[in-house]
């Protein structure tokens, strides 16, 4: 489950009434260094989701509930899943952020989600709105637990909501992703 962060953020991501601009923020996004100064218009309560989507154009992450309840905005910070709608932009300073755009097309988790279509389980992708969040949550989860049980997968994904109800297929995709990672590890 993604790390739960502070709850006192502005609902829309950007607190227009907050008069204090931030100082300088430097961090890496998908391997590239980025920097924002006081002129960038960020405030201390600007969320990481706002910064990534509106300032950097990384719209793969979705802001759905904007209150920490759905997992659609999940990204990785130093390899750990975080809810970017509940994380401050300034908390990214000095860290490595990875979004769905940073994953290779042949990433095993990406492949497993795209390929999932077994009879009896169905597709992991219906509208796809939840998918980036599930994929990033899965990346962090399989990094910590490369050989999970189905029950562990369900527990790990319990903070992510799929409004299309593809949970069974998504869980299968995670198990297949774990198999892919293991196959690649043993064949390399
Ligand atoms: S948009 Fe961040 S948890 Fe729902
Ligand atoms: S596939 Fe539509 S919300 Fe999950």
Nearest ligand by distance to the CA of 123: 2
Query: CATH for 103-187?
Result: 1.10.150.120
Where along the chain do its domains lie? 25-101, 103-187
Amino acid 14: pLDDT: 52
Distance CA 170, CA 127 (A): 13
Amino acid 3: pLDDT: 44
Helix (H, G, I), strand (E, B) or coil at 3: strand
Amino acid 18: pLDDT: 53
User: How remote is the CA of residue 86 from the centroid of ligand 1, in Å?
Assistant: 7
Q: To test the ligand 1 pocket, which listed residue (52, 130, 133, 160) has its Cβ within 8 A of the most ligand atoms?
A: 133
pLDDT tens, residue by residue, 36-75 = 998 998 999 999 999 999 999 999 999 999 999 999 999 9
User: How remote is the CA of residue 182 from the centroid of ligand 2, in Å?
Assistant: 27
Same fold, 25-101 and 103-187: no
Q: Are strands 74-77 and 32-36 parallel, antiparallel or unpaired?
A: unpaired
Q: Which CATH superfamily is domain 25-101 in?
A: Beta-grasp domain (3.10.20.30)
Give the chain's end-to-end CA distance (angstroms, integer): 30
Nearest-atom number in ligand 1 for the CA of 65 is: 4
Distance CA 106, CA 121 (A): 22
pTM for the structure as a whole: 0.90
Residue segments in the chain with a per-residue pLDDT below the cut of 70: 1-20
**Looking at ligand 2, which residue's alpha carbon is closest to its atom 4?**
162
């Amino acid at each position: 489950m993604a790390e739960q962060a502070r709850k006192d953020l502005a609902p829309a991501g950007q607190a227009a009434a907050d008069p204090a601009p931030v100082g300088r923020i430097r961090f890496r996004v998908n391997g590239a260094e980025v920097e924002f100064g006081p002129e960038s218009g960020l405030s201390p309560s600007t969320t990481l989701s706002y910064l990534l989507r509106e300032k950097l154009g990384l719209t793969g992450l979705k802001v759905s509930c904007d209150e920490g309840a759905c997992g659609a905005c999940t990204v990785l910070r130093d390899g750990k899943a975080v809810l970017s709608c509940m994380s401050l932009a300034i908390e990214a300073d000095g860290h490595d952020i990875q979004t769905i755009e940073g994953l290779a097309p042949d990433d095993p988790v990406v492949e497993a989600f795209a390929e999932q279509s077994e009879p009896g389980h169905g597709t992991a992708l219906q509208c796809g709105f939840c998918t980036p969040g599930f994929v990033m949550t899965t990346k962090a989860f399989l990094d910590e637990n490369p050989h999970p049980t189905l029950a562990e997968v369900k527990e790990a994904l319990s903070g992510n909501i799929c409004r299309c109800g593809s949970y069974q297929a998504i869980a299968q995709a995670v198990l297949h992703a774990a198999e892919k990672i293991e196959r690649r590890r043993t064949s390399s």
